[in-house]
Amino acid sequence: MKTYRNEHVTVFVDCGIHLIQQIWIDKPSSETFRNGSLAVMALARKHRPKRWLIDLQQLRLFNPTDIQWFINEWLPRATFYLPHNVRIAITVTDLNQFSKLGADLILRASGRMNEAQTSRYFVTNEEARQWLLIPD
């Protein structure tokens, strides 16, 4: 299992099931958000995951400027390198959670760039993993 960690995100790669899992906490600074996102892209380029679990349960919120950077800079590059049939599961503590707004913006932009992508929200990582592991 490959990993990356900074003060606001921990990333695990499970090559056996083609899964990347990110766990975001607190309110990332622009520097830790961007460094973490770039590290995730490097791991994704190398391992080409088909499944992505993004845990936002401990996240307070993302900076709107960072979300715009993610949509305008990170996503176009990531879309070029990643498999088109990727599944993305996002866990939040409440489906009406404020931090979900940033994820909604990112998923809508990502979906426009990759129509084969499938995504869903969950309130537990166990439910998210079960959905991600359903055979294609």
- pLDDT at residue 64 tops 90: no
CA angle 119, 122, 124 (to 5 degrees): 140
Instruction: Delimit the domains of the chain by residue range.
Output: 2-133
Per-residue pLDDT, averaged over 77-89, amounts to 80
H-only helix segments in the chain: 30-47, 64-69, 75-81, 100-113, 125-132
Percent over 70 (pLDDT), the chain = 87
Domain boundaries 2-133, corresponding CATH code:
3.30.750.24
For residues 44 and 20, give the distance between their C-alpha atoms in angstroms, rounded to a whole number: 8
Question: 52-61: per-residue pLDDT in tens?
Answer: 999 989 988 7
In the chain, what is the greatest distance between 2 CA atoms, to the nearest angstrom? 37
- pLDDT at residue 98 tops 60: no
Q: Which of 63, 115, 50 has its CA nearest to residue 89?
A: 50
For residues 27 and 43, give the distance between their C-alpha atoms in angstroms, rounded to a whole number: 23
β 87-91/2-5 pair status: unpaired
Sign of CA dihedral 128, 132, 135, 136: positive
